[in-house]
Amino acid sequence: MNREFYEAIKREVRLKAAFSPRDYNTRHELMAKGRADYPSDDIRRIKSLMAENPNYLLIGEENYPKKLYDMNWPPLVLFYEGDLSLLGRPAVGIVGSRNNSVYGERVTKELSLSIAKIGGVIVSGGARGVDAIAHGQALLENGKTICVLGNGLDISYPKENESLFKEIKVQGLLLSEYPKGFGPKKWTFPMRNKIIAALSDMIIVTEAAEKSGSLHTASYGEEINRRLYSVPSPIFSITGKGTNALIEMGARILYRKENLMEDILDSFPLVLYHRISDLGLVAIPLEMAALLKLFPMNKHNMDSFILRLELAGVIEKTSDCRIVFKQFF
């Protein structure tokens, strides 16, 4: 069902279906039929949930993430805290093992840092291990990150990441399809993984065992045509059997971060503008040497992308050859 299907349904019907305590299939069926005649107990529950969770993205609304319409069964509502503008930016999902190795940590840190440096938004699930490392590196570089939880926004799970979630609320965006007070369940995480995949333009699995949940994220990402990368691991690595299997099944092998940077910049050249904006450098004349320090690329590649941005009208050059990023968005 596409975006137009949901937009055509009356807002009252969508709103009641989104906040109803019933199961997803029942709510979706009632919404599709245009039904808004819920029992009085349901109505009281709906009003209570809306009062307790005032910040939400309702399916069919203008601010609902467009990428989620690629899902067969998108969430009817998403609760949020943080910067919604990140939903409109190029995003890279980074997922992997909760019990990562030293190798997995190093790879995740290096890739996350590089993506943040060029303005890409890192999407992950807030779990211990690879997820937490990816979010943390983005924040360390003053970059942007989106965290999708499998529980209500007021619950820190795992508890050890509580300070990380607080920081993401300020510097990034925290999302959940579950209202406040809703604790994590075994069945909430598969849907969480699908949302991560859908919000991402590209997905990277940095390290994963044979039965890792991150492989479900990768698999669903392929179903909805997201570009999938997998980092190879040594053949004797238990924590890397899943990533090696993904490569065997056709995922792009990621063994040089430069290849990833080129892919991101080729697909989304305006991502550099977002980084400049994040750093407060829009409309400020910049030397080429300063740009080379800001972005992880060589001068040849920088010259190429500067030309593309100039042709797109995003930048202009001063008489002394400095570069100015215009006020664009």
Express each pLDDT in 62-88 by its tens digit.
999 999 999 999 999 999 999 999 999
User: Which residues of the chain carry a pLDDT beneath 50?
Assistant: none
Written out in words, the top-level CATH class of the domain with range 84-262 is alpha beta
What CATH number is given for 269-325 in this structure? 1.10.10
Express each pLDDT in 83-99 by its tens digit.
999 999 999 999 999 99
DSSP state of 89: S
User: Which residue is associated with the tokens 């450098």?
Assistant: 281
Note the pLDDT of residue 311: 87
Note the pLDDT of residue 2: 86
First to last CA, the chain: 31
Contact of 323 with 317, CB cutoff 8 Å: yes
Note the pLDDT of residue 86: 98
Q: Where in the chain is the domain with CATH 3.40.50.450?
A: 84-262
Residue 10 phi, psi dihedral angles, 5° rounding: -55, 145
Phi-psi region for residue 251, left (φ > 0), alpha (ψ -120 to 50) or beta? beta
